[in-house]
Structures are given as structure tokens and as C-alpha cells.
Amino acid sequence: DIQLTQSPSFLSASVGDRVTITCRASQDISKYLVWYQQKPGKAPKLLIYAASTLQSGVPSRFSGSGSGTEFSLTISSLQPEDSATYYCQQLNSVPRGFSFGPGTKVDI
């Protein structure tokens, strides 16, 4: 199975800061990685797919990069509404499944 790790697990930052979350895969997943944002009590929201493609409607301050085993999600200028937990997910491991990372909680 492909395992995903995220770092950090928690970060505290200020409005306007640039923050980066890293997701590492236990084996090469090419660019089959997506990022979600989840706020308490809500369903996740798709932010980035194919490692770096911004989902329609998502603010441009969000960006993704990486391929293979190392990926990152960057928020260029943190806003109050970005306080949430962020998850990466790999979509490469057919038929074993599409595992999620453990999440990174961002506090502002």
C-alpha cells in the first residue's frame, strides 16, 4: 500500500504569511496527488488536483507542486478563512486504494 505522510501536523501562522505543507508518498505516484481543505463539521473541499492544477473557483493564493514522492501545498498570503485542516490524497494505487495523508491543521 502507498502511505502518505504530511508535515507539519500542525502549524500556527499569521494573516499574510506564506505557508507550505509537505506531503510525501512511500513510492512514486507520478502527479496523482490532490489536496483538500476541511473546516470543522464540513465536508472536504477540493483545492488542487494532478499535484499542481488549481480547482475551479479556488483562490489563486493556493498552489501545488511536486511529482514522484514529494509534494507541497503553498498558501502565498494566509487569510483568516484559511484556518482549516489540509489533506493530501494519492490516486495512483489501483486497486489497493486511494489513501489520504494524516492531515495538517493550520491555525491563524
Partner 1 sequence: EVQLVESGGGLVQPGGSLRLSCVGSGFTFGIYEMNWVRQAPGKGLEWVSYISSVGGTIYYADSVKGRFTVSRDNDKNSLYLQMKDLRVEDTGTYYCARDGSVAAAGYEYWGEGTLVAVSS
Instruction: List interacting residues with partner 1 (CB under 8 A).
Output: 1, 32, 34, 36, 38, 43-46, 49-50, 53, 55, 85, 87, 89, 91-92, 94-103
In the complex, least distance from residue 44 CB atom to partner 1, rounded to whole angstroms? 6
Please identify, using beta-carbon distances, which residue of 2 and 17 lies nearer to partner 1.
Answer: 2
Q: Give the DSSP letter string of 5-50.
A: EEE-SEEE--TT--EEEEEEESS--TT-EEEEEE-TTS--EEEEET
Phi, psi of 82 (to 5 degrees): -85, 0
DSSP, collapsed to helix, strand or coil, labels residue 80 as: helix
Please identify, using beta-carbon distances, which residue of 25 and 34 lies nearer to partner 1.
Answer: 34
In the complex, least distance from residue 3 CB atom to partner 1, rounded to whole angstroms? 13
Please identify, using beta-carbon distances, which residue of 47 and 78 lies nearer to partner 1.
Answer: 47
Partnered with residue 25 across adjacent β-strands are 4
In the complex, least distance from residue 67 CB atom to partner 1, rounded to whole angstroms? 13
Separation CA 15–CA 9 (nearest Å): 19
